[in-house]
Amino acid sequence: MKIQILGTAAAEGFPGLFCNCKHCKKARELGGKNIRTRSSTIIDDSIKIDFPPDSYHHVLTHNLDLSKIEHLLFTHTHMDHFNPKDLGMRTPGFAHDFSYPLHIYGNDAAIYKSKEVLWHTDQYFTFTLMHPFTTYQVGTAKVTPLPADHNPLETCLLFYIEKDGNRIFHGHDTGWFPEQTWEWLSTKKIDVAILDCTHGQLPERRNHLNIEAVKDIQNVFLEKGIMTNKSQMIATHFSHNIGLMHEDLEEIFASSGIKVAYDGIVLHV
């Protein structure tokens, strides 16, 4: 299984879109893995998680063929994850020579807002309303959405994905998981966990995770047998407010074996 993480920043990007703080200036000077765009992940070139405003940039930067995407999962409708208007470009007149439809999955807000801007293109899209703890067939994968600790006004979703005998946990945007999510995961196995690390070394672990929370989750996963020493844990979704460059993050996580994502990183399971 191939996993490609396309964007690894929080909503403002890293460096921030309008920011001139010392951390953003340093990231611009260093470039490379310190340049982070808004969040998205692709699994086996056919399943995409989130569609941020940087999607066209991802296509050009990483030489992607988005016509291969058959299934699109939305975690929630915050702007750095949700830009459904651009999906209108996946219709005749704007795009040619690939198969329809695109299957879109998400909570009620994501489905409603997607339909609102794609109302005239129903024949090119299907929409599936997802409910937490219900397992959905998504192509050759099985996907179970789980509640996140993120926006109290929206049912934000984490995803447990089973495909080709492998188990992926897509764990952002979220703070420390809700109790019912922990309970559901307690009997499962995870080969790759991708976790929110927006807050870095800041003390907050509500709505988003920090470094210590990511390490604590790793410990719980190992203690409960949810993950093994052969499993991969990936930290991503970093804010410029943490003031840490990519090498800083790698040094901090080195002893725990947690990988630090960068834009375009490809993982194989």
3-state DSSP: the chain helix, strand, coil percent, rounded to 5?
Answer: 30, 25, 45
Q: What confidence tens digit (pLDDT) does each residue in 139-176 have?
A: 999 999 999 999 999 999 999 999 999 999 999 999 99
Cα gap 36→8, rounded to integer Å: 5
Q: What is the pLDDT along the chain (269 residues), one digit of tens a residue?
A: 999 999 999 999 999 999 999 999 999 999 999 999 999 999 999 999 999 999 999 999 999 999 999 999 999 999 999 999 999 999 999 999 888 899 999 999 999 999 999 987 778 999 999 999 999 999 999 999 999 999 999 999 999 999 999 999 999 999 999 999 999 999 999 999 999 999 999 999 999 999 999 999 999 999 999 999 999 999 999 999 999 999 999 999 999 999 999 999 999 99
Contact 181, 147 (CB under 8 A): yes
What tokens were used for 131?
């409910």
Closest C-alpha to 157, from 186, 136, 188: 136
CATH of domain 2-266: 3.60.15.10
**C-alpha distance from residue 243 to each of 76, 116, 199, 207, 237 (Å):** 26, 38, 10, 19, 13
The kind and range of the H/E element at 48 are strand 47-49
pTM metric for this prediction: 0.96
